[in-house]
Amino acid sequence: MQAYLILANGTVLTGNSIGAVGTTIGEVVFATGMVGFQETLTDPSYYGQIITQTYPLIGNYGMNREDLESDRIWCRGYIVREACTTPSNFRSQLTLDAFLKEQNIIGIEGIDTRSLTRTLREHGVMNGAITTEFDPNTDRARLAALMEEILNYSVIGAVAAVSCTAPQTFEPTGGVAEGETPLHIALLDLGCKNNIVRCLRKRGCKVTVLPGGTTAAELAALHADGLMLSNGPGDPAENVDIIRNIAEMLDSGIPAFGICLGHQLTALAAGARTRKMKYGHRGANQPATDLIDGRTYITSQNHGYAVMGETLPAGVGRVTHVNANDKSCEGITYTKWNCFTVQFHPEANGGPKDTEYLFDRFLANVRAAKGVG
């Protein structure tokens, strides 16, 4: 069955349908990872977006139930050059096409994803639609109606859509000595990936995942030892109430660590500003330079907004990491609060793990604040 990708600039690309049939609208973005496609699909940070994979063959090692970053696909559509129909991996349980169908996600293959990526790099991410319901090259009336929807589409209410609705507690899976009381970490779910929970649990932490709208008073009642601020989707500045809550939480002195959206919301709580990027950073090969030791790490990232490091008020904190390509802010350590944040994903299951040591740094801060070794 044929499928069509329609961009807000009027471009129409013809390909073949994968996954579900129908019509979907979203913000078309590109991700550069060679692997980690199932982690990408199930990352809540892609809420409201149509993902273009720049690597030409996707699905060659299949899908499994163990490596999902959440319990569902959050993106609104999927674009690949070629979807592998014969995956080869002993852990594979179903094909990419079957997984998309199961999750009712509309996809398209067989288009020139290299050309599409160049368009998005040159002109910036833009809204678009995938449809299997009509041929936009011949049905101009339906195309005009769909174009109006495409142009009016925006990603709003993203955190509320992906966050959990009730607290959940997970016990540690390792790292706790006999007779030792595990550290209790509160994880504010702004669109949390499962591997953040795994990284904390394997280090001996009891983790309570909290809804994104949790207040400072509700956090205080939990008597947690530390606070983790997760990744998530959407425009960070939209989350006015959450930003205020985070400021109150951090004012309490609780040791905190923020990732991705958590990094952006903390900066906004401190008085800095954020901006929408032309095409963002999405993939497992983004270089982030640590300004303290001069070392550059290859990191996994997924964001379309960035903190404007120069807007961080004096005396509040300092920028500690920048992207080696475009020099955008990638990390901040705060002097106002017992907190540090990074834009990249140190927990990335489908990407490099060179920066996973940041979890150890966070837990060292938690133990120091608690007065334990």
Which residues are identified as catalytic? Answer: 260, 345, 347
What are 226's strand-pairing partners? 185
- Kindly state the DSSP code that residue 27 receives in the 8-state scheme: E
- Closest residue by Cα to residue 373 from 153, 207, 242, 181: 181
First CA to last CA across the chain, in angstroms? Answer: 62
Question: For residue 333, is it left (φ>0), alpha (ψ between -120 and 50) or beta?
Answer: beta
E-assigned strands of 41-93?
49-53, 57-58, 77-80, 82-83
Q: Are 77 and 51 in contact (CB under 8 A)?
A: yes
In single-letter form, the type of residue at position 121 comes to R
Q: Are 250 and 269 in contact (CB under 8 A)?
A: yes
Number of H helices, E strands in the chain: 10, 19
Q: Which two tokens stand for residue 47?
A: 């809420």
In single-letter form, the type of residue at position 12 comes to V
Query: Is the alpha carbon torsion for 227, 232, 237, 240 positive or negative?
Result: negative
Tell me how far apart the alpha carbons of residues 87 and 10 are, in angstroms, rounded to a whole number: 35
Q: Could you tell me which residues come within 8 angstroms of residue 181 by beta carbon, excluding any fewer than 6 positions away?
A: none
Tell me how far apart the alpha carbons of residues 129 and 77 are, in angstroms, rounded to a whole number: 8
Distances, alpha carbon 149 to alpha carbons 262, 292, 359, in Å: 31, 47, 43
